Chains A and B, each alone.
Chain A
């Protein structure tokens, strides 16, 4: 787990001096396996805590899809010492706030708080890691909350509907096939024993990493972490996730019929895993194609040919091969086939000619500037450290990112574009606008 990414090894990109000055991290691993990373920053009287558990929807199986996310909700519903409703009540009354998210790969808990609440927060977090209590009553209520969340994010949201459809096209066998929030029927069916087993398997200290950034003395903070987390027993190593995805033999397509004002287009290409150095080349391509008003697809498809209202490329680092997704919001009279042809022609241009020197340099400059902006808050630093460690194997991978980007040549851009934007890796979802199921009732 602690090896640097292959690219960082072979080419040994240089450490960025500004990033190194911002990320003077102190490391420890407790005997129970909990990784601890401490980064003091005395600028404001606040601390951010991130606790990463290495579990997400990729650890699920059909029948319990959505359990990682439902479980994230259950973590706020009471443990041995701090019972139901206590977690946030105690945290807020000390000047803090909490949040959490679940992705395909990770479940991440986060608190921002006034620095004098550090011990309280460690007490709260360790309590639920050691001794979460799940009652039938809170599970029943939380299940309803999650169903409302699904209705808001997927069932009544066009991009949500299309994204869910795309997942089932790109992946035939890998757990990335189902949405992180899970299928509605599975959310209905997840039981308390399912949750309890999930907790025992994945919420052990040896499956977690703790990041603290902000106004504290690192020796005192580490002593407090040992005091609160040191006695929690490690669990067995979770089973590895197998990537059973067969190679794709040709383009896949789906149409989603839904009441809408305009069609939309989503095109996905199965990409590499985060640890593959080609992931960083796709980052550069993403920035050159859709980040900023002067980015190529915005310039060509939105301003130039006026085919789309908005064009974006989503490329997210994942443990297993993720998907590069192009999402184009169209106009009511747009013809999606025509827009699709225009998009594919643009991707073919990248394959044939790559980017201009100016576009390439601009993308690199922006990637570094965005990295610096991300690191301008305690929460941003803590989260970035956790991401690098979970997805690249070491938080130090972040220090060499600007140099790794800087080393990317146009030849490499063409090579990577040709590999991943190949027709046999493509999946296309088109939203076909329909009339509502009945006429409107307005007078």
Chain B
């Protein structure tokens, strides 16, 4: 090192880093509104989250929440699809819908001066959608075509096959986009029932972040959502999964012309906010989170077997899973699997080095403020912690909790989560060339792409 470095302020290391002040109110119809005023850009994010994610899709109607999200903007009793698009897009705002396992999300980002008008549009979409029959027919055709085209995307196919193999018939066991067989059955009555039963104010939360005055937001929200009724009063319970459905098995999705295999592994995880959430997340950074993790180092850097490998915890309200995601050329698929499983076993049995733990903690804590850099990301973080019943201290004390993880806690998380029981293995690729290679890893079953969606 050249001259000695003059230490600068270390605000990043100061515990108790603060969000801007929050303002909270409830509209007369029961919608909770959370406002976080934040400059300097003249932009605002409106994020409405409802507890109507794909885990609540009725049996036989998998994909309904996401389909409803597509159609919500295709007409209300006062505005047609064109008018809605024009009202939002003309002013430079953008409207998007998203459905996860837990949540149904309506997001609008807008120049600040159009806040009132955009809330009005959002209110109409939620209170008064009509789901026109002709729009429904064309949306269904498009959704089915999209599902067919998705069969040509090996990475997507691998993710979906893994979801199925891990969760089975559990509410988390289907992709939010559903399956061709269920999407084909969607009717206007399904959508109207979904709207009536799932989209209401009581469990919903509207988060508004940006250049706004809280009183104006409360006032505009009151007007926009006046008279909104329906939806659940109490959260639905999703059960814990007794164990990975196809544990110890290898599912090969046959794509005869692939020259590369997409590989996915999964084992037990935890519900968001579980007692060992922080030890597990910190441990995962050392395993396969950062660019210097053991998996990246051994599989990519030392051996050039892949361009990408990583591990992460999928954590929902009721349960979760640990995932490893990677790919390699067909010929080296078994080699990559063997090395990957070996790395997990090593960390499970021997734990982390003290230096690895320290490294993971500094990395996670140092970069955490990135998640609070934009209106969108602040809104998403706030919505997430509120919906999961956690306080905003989840955000403000995140760095502190990361730094508090001990080596014993991280090692306990490794022992618990790094495939102590055999994982589910999914490989998308050329089954003819793969079958024999993969036999040492468990009973191999070969399925067609259409069975993996």
Whether A and B are associated in the same complex: the answer reads yes
- A interface residue numbers (CB < 8 A to B): 18, 21-22, 43-46, 85, 88-89, 92-98, 112-119, 123, 140-149, 151-152, 155-158, 215-216, 220, 227-228, 258-262, 292-295, 299, 302-303, 306, 309-310, 329-332, 358, 361-362, 365-366, 368-370, 372-373, 375-378, 436-443
Q: Check B43–A261 contact: CB distance below 8 A.
A: no
Partner among A140, A330, A362 whose Cβ is within 8 Å of the Cβ of B89: A362
Residue of B nearest to A302 (CB): B142
Given A93-B362, A114-B366: A442 touches B446 (CB 8 Å cut-off): yes
Q: Is B197's beta carbon under 8 Å from chain A?
A: no
Which of chain B's residues have a CB closer than 8 A to the CB of A260? 152
Given A145-B300, A358-B86: A442 touches B254 (CB 8 Å cut-off): yes
Q: Check B8–A156 contact: CB distance below 8 A.
A: no
Residue of B nearest to A439 (CB): B256
Which of chain A's residues have a CB closer than 8 A to the CB of B237? none
Interface-centre pick from B93, B111, B307, B365 (highest chain A CB count, 10 A):
B307
Partner among A45, A97, A261, A440 whose Cβ is within 8 Å of the Cβ of B363: A97
Residue of B nearest to A331 (CB): B145
Q: Check A376–B307 contact: CB distance below 8 A.
A: no
Q: Please report the C-alpha to C-alpha distance between residue A357 and residue B358 in the assembled complex, in whole angstroms.
A: 59
Q: Check A92–B432 contact: CB distance below 8 A.
A: no
Q: How far is the CB of B85 from chain A (nearest CB, A)?
A: 3
Which of chain B's residues have a CB closer than 8 A to the CB of A262? 145, 148-149, 152
Given A119-B5, A220-B8, A303-B138: A151 touches B329 (CB 8 Å cut-off): yes
Q: Please report the C-alpha to C-alpha distance between residue A44 and residue B374 in the assembled complex, in whole angstroms.
A: 10
Chain B interface, number of residues (Cβ within 8 angstroms): 88
Partner among B85, B300, B365 whose Cβ is within 8 Å of the Cβ of A95: B365
Q: Is B448's beta carbon under 8 Å from chain A?
A: yes
Given A146-B307, A306-B142, A332-B148: A116 touches B93 (CB 8 Å cut-off): no
Q: Is B372's beta carbon under 8 Å from chain A?
A: yes
Q: Please report the C-alpha to C-alpha distance between residue A440 and residue B435 in the assembled complex, in whole angstroms.
A: 13
Partner among A118, A119, A302, A442 whose Cβ is within 8 Å of the Cβ of B451: A442
In the complex, per-residue mask of B76-88: 1 if CB is within 8 Å of any chain A CB, else 0: 0000011001101
Q: How far is the CB of A76 from chain B (nearest CB, A)?
A: 8
Q: Check B41–A309 contact: CB distance below 8 A.
A: no
Which of chain B's residues have a CB closer than 8 A to the CB of A143? 304
Q: How far is the CB of B68 from chain A (nearest CB, A)?
A: 16
Q: How far is the CB of A134 from chain B (nearest CB, A)?
A: 15
Q: Please report the C-alpha to C-alpha distance between residue A309 and residue B255 in the assembled complex, in whole angstroms.
A: 23
Interface residues of B in 127-149 (CB under 8 A from A): 138, 141-142, 145-146, 148-149
Given A155-B260, A309-B146: A97 touches B373 (CB 8 Å cut-off): no
Q: Check B297–A85 contact: CB distance below 8 A.
A: yes
Partner among B82, B86, B257, B307 whose Cβ is within 8 Å of the Cβ of A437: B257
Partner among B9, B11, B41, B435 whose Cβ is within 8 Å of the Cβ of A22: B41
Q: Check B304–A140 contact: CB distance below 8 A.
A: yes
Partner among B88, B93, B148, B305 whose Cβ is within 8 Å of the Cβ of A261: B148
A-B contact pairs, 19 of them (CB 8 A): A44-B370, A45-B11, A92-B291, A114-B12, A116-B12, A140-B304, A141-B302, A148-B260, A220-B8, A259-B255, A261-B152, A262-B145, A293-B81, A294-B88, A331-B148, A332-B145, A369-B43, A373-B109, A376-B41
Q: Is B73's beta carbon under 8 Å from chain A?
A: yes
Q: Please report the C-alpha to C-alpha distance between residue A264 and residue B75 in the assembled complex, in whole angstroms.
A: 30
Q: Check A441–B91 contact: CB distance below 8 A.
A: no
